[in-house]
């Protein structure tokens, strides 16, 4: 399948997933054992859906990293190159989405206040803080995305697809959940260095961008050494179960929907024919 077509189908599948599972992701994100919702499940879901319907650009923007992931993976030379390129594009796009969300939330709440739209936020923010500031931290995020999402697609490419929606969901969920567990130490080490706000004075030159990215890696290495001595192994696996349900379920659903829509990342090949099918074409849907 053409990389553009794969990216477009993946993007469309994830737009639907973002909207459909938005209440679920919020519930998992804030869930604590022994606690209960202050409102009924119906009101909780309706409140989330109303907010998203009032801001239709939100799911369109949040789904962009997923489309970039599939576009890069199919475009890349082989599973390794695909994982590298797809993960890198996913990381940079995810950083842009997160940075834009923070900027819009800083001024009177998301989608209200200083910036009128997502596009206005990106353009105005780039002028105010520098174009490079939009992607501050993208190098570390891309490293995580390559190992987390890129490797997941490489695993899925080696699976035999019989075309069943729920089977594809279960396969993708397991692969992503496995990589969620393996990458948990890396994500936890980088979490504090990637959670900072705007850099003082913005990031206006390539040199400043590179220095900032290097500082993130140095801080992460320092955090890793410190917590290994003070907290031990439990720190590196902290939050892995919550992250699995928050991210692997939507990923599995999006991937199954992508396959149901006719999308393909190609099957494993013995040569360099990345993206070409050697198995039978999927006919069944559900």
- Please state, in angstroms and rounded to a whole number, the distance separating the CA atoms of residues 232 and 228: 4
Token pair, residue 76, equals: 């890349």
- Please state, in angstroms and rounded to a whole number, the distance separating the CA atoms of residues 212 and 141: 13
Token pair, residue 156, equals: 């899925």
Mean pLDDT, residues 80-108 taken together = 89
φ and ψ of 57, to 5 deg:
-70, -15
pLDDT in tens, 200-232: 678 889 999 999 999 999 999 999 999 989 988
Supply the angle between the helices 138-145 and 78-106 in degrees, to the nearest 10: 130
Contact partners, residue 223, CB within 8 Å, separation at least 6: 189, 192, 193
Q: Estimate to the nearest angstrom the gap between the alpha carbon of 101 and the chain centroid.
A: 14
- Please state, in angstroms and rounded to a whole number, the distance separating the CA atoms of residues 83 and 67: 14
Question: For 219, left (φ over 0), alpha (ψ -120 to 50), or beta?
Answer: alpha
Q: Compare 31 and 66 and report the one with higher pLDDT.
A: 66
Q: What is the pTM of this model?
A: 0.85
pLDDT given at position 97: 92
pLDDT in tens, 233-277: 888 999 899 999 999 999 999 999 999 999 999 765 444 444 444
Q: Is 66 a residue whose pLDDT tops 50? A: yes
Percent of the chain's residues with pLDDT above 70: 84
- Please state, in angstroms and rounded to a whole number, the distance separating the CA atoms of residues 73 and 80: 9
Q: Is 112 a residue whose pLDDT tops 80? A: no
pLDDT given at position 183: 96
pLDDT given at position 36: 59
pLDDT in tens, 147-201: 999 999 999 998 877 778 999 999 999 999 999 999 999 999 999 888 766 776 7
Q: Label residues 249-282 b or e (16+ Cβ within 10 Å = b).
A: bbbbbbbbbbbbeebbbbbeeeeeebbeeeeeeb
- Mean pLDDT computed over every residue of the chain: 84
283: confidence class by pLDDT, cuts 50, 70, 90: very low
SS (H, E, C) 69-95: HHHHHHHCCHHHHHHHHHHHHHHHHHH
Question: Sign (positive/negative) of CA torsion 269, 147, 89, 174?
Answer: positive
pLDDT given at position 93: 96
- Please state, in angstroms and rounded to a whole number, the distance separating the CA atoms of residues 178 and 248: 9
The CA distances from residue 97 to 153, 235, 279, in Å, are 21, 27, 36
pLDDT given at position 30: 72
């Amino acid at each position: 399948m053409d990389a553009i077509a794969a990216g477009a189908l993946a993007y469309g599948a994830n737009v639907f997933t973002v909207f459909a599972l938005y209440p679920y992701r919020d519930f998992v994100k804030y869930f604590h054992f022994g606690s209960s919702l202050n409102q009924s499940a119906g009101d909780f879901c309706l409140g989330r859906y109303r907010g998203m319907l009032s801001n239709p650009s939100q799911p369109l923007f949040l789904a962009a990293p997923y489309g970039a992931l599939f576009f890069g993976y199919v475009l890349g030379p082989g599973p390794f190159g695909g994982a590298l390129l797809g993960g890198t594009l996913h990381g940079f796009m995810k950083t842009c989405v997160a940075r834009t969300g923070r900027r819009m939330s800083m001024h009177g709440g998301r989608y209200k206040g200083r910036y009128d739209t997502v596009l206005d936020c990106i353009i105005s923010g780039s002028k105010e803080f520098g174009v490079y500031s939009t992607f501050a931290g993208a190098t570390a995020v891309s490293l995580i995305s390559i190992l987390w999402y890129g490797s997941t697609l490489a695993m899925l490419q080696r699976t035999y697809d019989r075309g069943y929606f729920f089977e594809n969901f279960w396969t993708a969920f397991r692969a992503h959940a496995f990589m969620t567990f393996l990458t948990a130490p890396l994500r936890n080490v980088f979490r504090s260095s990637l959670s900072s706000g705007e850099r003082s004075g913005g990031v206006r030159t390539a040199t400043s961008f590179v220095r900032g990215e290097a500082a993130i890696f140095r801080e992460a290495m320092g955090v890793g050494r410190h917590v290994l001595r003070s907290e031990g192994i439990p720190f590196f696996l902290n939050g892995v179960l919550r992250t699995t349900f928050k991210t692997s379920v939507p990923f599995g659903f999006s991937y199954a929907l992508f396959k149901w829509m006719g999308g393909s990342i190609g099957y494993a090949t013995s040569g360099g024919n990345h993206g070409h099918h050697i198995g039978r074409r999927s006919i069944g849907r559900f």
